[in-house]
Structure 1
């Protein structure tokens, strides 16, 4: 085989070109300069008591079926001044609120029948910018997270009942 065969690539030239490409540093200036902005979530004056990943569903009475609300992070928050609790859930990618309601003494969470990773409860939810009574179901990746959620919500509901009794006295 001849060294100057036009059908064979020159290995030395290819290797030299590859080395040159490694050292080329191109500086590309951004087309638009974006200023950082402060994002206000409404959660600044609250402490997170619980923060878990889950998938939320609501029961649609008209269709008589469960409809998915979103998958993301569910938080149980306590206000620093008023000491009241609320449950907030945001979708993972869009951060849209899919659950937003107070946890009161009447809040009762039960295990969903037939699934030990899910639980259900009734709430006066404000996630769609109007107060609606909803039947909600939340599903976790593990049984432990579901039990942790149920226990924490029940403890908070009981503490709200104790606070109301203390205020009445």
Structure 2
């Protein structure tokens, strides 16, 4: 049965901290735009308070979430149990992008073990927490983290990473400018 809450309860926090992967959903304002669902891994998610969370976002082949939340702020984060009792937990709220070398970055960065390729922190104010059964989600066993992204990043110079982000992370696939794109234009 689905249940709705106004904040993250201790049982929710315990569930979230056991999960090894989460998914981020966002969409542009345009109805012709693409809805984005992005999987996230590593130890990159933090609960800052009962109504505030953040995750360390790493360099990737796109930057859809950043573009969408810069345009309209809307974001959903979903966790689901692959082991143990079934459950799906969604956090609904409004998010913002925090770039390196800003006061907000320096405030939030100590919450994370900085991973190679960290490009931004996404912080969200949560207004609704929703749990549902997850009865149809299969069991999967965690075998370990993939190190492919870390290796890829470690094999690039700072200049190569900047060039990659300029090419791949400045606009969404719908053409929305990201904060990285705004920074590159300066």
Task: Specify the TM-score bucket, using the shorter chain as the normaliser.
Answer: under 0.3
Task: Give TM-score, length-normalised by structure 2.
Answer: 0.24
Write 1 or 2 for the structure with the bigger share of strand: 1
Pick 1 or 2: higher relative contact order, CA cutoff 8 A, min separation 6: 2
**Structure number with bigger Rg:** 1
Task: Give TM-score, length-normalised by structure 1.
Answer: 0.26
